[in-house]
């Protein structure tokens, strides 16, 4: 069963920054990129579980704050030579209200 949940407002997230939210038992990091994209991923690096919401955003990726693994925010995959993958979430931004919705 899928559900759509409002989790934030676009105005609350600076460009090249993130916001951490919890939906049910899942912690999610929402990132706002310089190209205008807003992406949502599981807030846990596949390596040692570092909080990606605290990492540095570079292009379409985030660097884990623990060991600098680079995670692609669109696919959830770690950049080689590292291996691993995290869950990505479908996200929608309402153009009028700026509300951000995630589908779980």
Residues 6+ apart with CB under 8 A from 77: 71, 84, 85
pLDDT at 68: 92
Q: What is the CATH number of the domain that holds 48?
A: 2.102.10.10
Given a cut of 80, whether residue 1 has pLDDT beyond it is no
CA distance to 22, 46, 66, 78, 98, per residue, from 104 (Å): 11, 20, 27, 22, 19
**What DSSP letter does each residue of 69-94 carry, written as one string?**
-EEETTT-BBPTTS--B--EEEEEE-
Say what the pLDDT of residue 3 is: 84
Number of domains in the chain: 1
Q: For the segment 36-86, what is each residue's pLDDT rounded down to a tens digit?
A: 999 999 999 999 999 999 999 999 999 999 999 999 999 999 999 999 999
Percent of the chain with pLDDT over 70: 100
pLDDT, position 46: 93
pLDDT of residue 24: 87
**C-beta separation of 46 from 85 below 8 A:** yes
List 71's β-bridge partners, or say none: 62, 78
pLDDT at 79: 95
Q: Which domain holds residue 68?
A: 4-103
Percentage of the residues of the chain whose pLDDT score is greater than 90: 88
pLDDT of 104: 84
Three-state DSSP class for 5? strand
Average pLDDT rounded to a whole number, residues 11-16: 92
Q: What is the largest CA-CA distance in the chain?
A: 42
């Amino acid at each position: 069963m899928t559900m759509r949940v409002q989790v934030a407002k676009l105005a609350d997230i600076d460009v090249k920054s993130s916001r951490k939210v919890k939906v049910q038992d899942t912690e999610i990091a929402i990132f706002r990129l310089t190209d205008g994209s807003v992406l949502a991923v599981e807030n846990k690096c596949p390596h040692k579980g570092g909080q990606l919401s605290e990492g540095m955003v570079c292009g379409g990726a985030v660097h884990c704050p623990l060991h600098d693994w680079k995670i692609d925010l669109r696919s959830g995959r770690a950049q080689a030579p590292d291996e691993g993958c995290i869950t990505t979430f479908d996200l929608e931004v309402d153009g009028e209200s700026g509300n951000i919705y995630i589908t779980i």
